[in-house]
């Protein structure tokens, strides 16, 4: 979860806020945020957008930022109008890692007793699809945060890495586990043991990234994808996400059994009936999320 800001980027760095985002930092009745910007986007306001906004620290993932991110996602989860979420940073950095100044004095006892990183579990439990729109650095905890999302879109200048080894530690929020499952043992081992970064093009070739876009287009394209997802039945979308995620944890036989049960479950929904009727009648379905 290391931050590369202390290793690669000496001196002050000022990040520009995404020009496509308005000045507001609040979402509905959720209150003010200090480290993020949260709002609804899309033609039908059915996409949640979260921008990490801690420019003075390259969006380093301090405790306050993670807590605000958790709170924003909780609000999006409870909002029935939201069908998918886009998470982004700035053109310079998605997130350059953990806040080293905040964690450098921790001990084994405090990490173990306080269950350090427990606040990261919120994204694992989030049911709606999340698309990471990555520009610039996604390093250490930033790379791990992107991998916790369901889809990764990258700007053409994005860089991914797990540089924890360079400051005497290892990844702690999925960098050795999710990365290995996605890109394979050899590349994951190289990245974790050397701290080297890979480009957006290399990340796509390895299967870490779904698509690459120009820097100024990646968030727009992620929102467009999220709108497509949000137009489908939300309850069936959640089933589909659960089934795909299970492929990383279950054997093939166990995964097939779960998939079949979830497939059967769709036949208990009104949306499955509406979708098939609309197909037969050659019209657009009107899903009610029931």
Active site residues: 98, 141, 144, 164
Contact 244, 181 (CB under 8 A): no
DSSP state for residue 21 in the 8-state scheme: S
Q: What are phi and psi of 207, to 5 degrees?
A: 95, 5
What is the total residue count of the chain? 290
3-state helix, strand, coil in the chain (%, to 5): 45, 15, 40
Looking at residue 154, the DSSP 8-state letter turns out to be: E
Contact by Cβ (8 Å): 166, 2: yes
Q: How far is it, in rounded angstroms, from Cα 92 to Cα 253?
A: 43
194 token code pair: 């050397």
Please name which of 203, 84, 192, 226 lies closest in space to residue 155, comparing C-alpha atoms.
203
In sequence order, which residues have a C-beta less than 8 Å from that of residue 223 and are 6 or more positions away? Answer: 41, 42, 47, 49, 86
- Are 127 and 237 in contact by the 8 Å Cβ rule? The answer is no
Distance separating alpha carbons of residues 37 and 124, to the nearest angstrom: 21
- Give the Cα separation of 254 and 271 in Å (integer): 26
Where residue 195 falls (left for φ over 0; alpha for ψ -120 to 50; beta otherwise) is left
């Amino acid at each position: 979860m290391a931050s590369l800001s202390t290793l690669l980027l000496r001196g002050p760095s000022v990040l520009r806020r995404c020009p496509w985002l308005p000045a507001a930092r609040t979402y509905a009745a959720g209150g003010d945020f200090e480290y993020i910007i949260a709002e609804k986007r899309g033609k039908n306001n059915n996409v949640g957008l979260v921008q990490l906004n801690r420019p003075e620290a390259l969006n380093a993932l301090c405790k306050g930022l993670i807590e605000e991110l958790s709170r924003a996602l909780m609000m999006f989860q409870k909002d029935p109008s939201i069908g998918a979420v886009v998470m982004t940073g700035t053109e310079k950095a998605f997130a350059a890692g953990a806040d080293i100044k905040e964690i450098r004095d921790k001990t084994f006892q405090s990490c173990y007793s306080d269950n350090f990183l427990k606040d990261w579990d919120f994204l694992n439990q989030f049911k709606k699809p999340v698309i990471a729109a990555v520009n610039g650095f996604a390093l250490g905890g930033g790379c791990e945060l992107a991998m916790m999302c369901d889809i990764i879109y990258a700007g053409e200048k994005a860089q991914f890495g797990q540089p924890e080894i360079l400051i005497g530690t290892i990844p702690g929020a999925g960098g050795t586990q999710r990365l290995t499952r996605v890109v394979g043992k050899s590349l994951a081992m190289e990245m974790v043991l050397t701290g080297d970064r890979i480009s957006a093009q290399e990340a796509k070739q390895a299967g870490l990234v779904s698509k690459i876009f120009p820097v100024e287009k990646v968030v727009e394209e992620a929102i467009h994808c999220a709108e497509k997802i949000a137009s489908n039945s939300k309850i069936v979308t959640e089933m589909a996400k659960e089934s795909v995620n299970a492929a990383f944890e279950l054997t093939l036989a166990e995964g097939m059994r779960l998939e079949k049960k979830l497939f059967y479950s769709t036949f208990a929904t009104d949306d499955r009936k509406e979708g098939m009727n609309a197909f037969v009648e050659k019209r657009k379905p009107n899903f009610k999320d029931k």
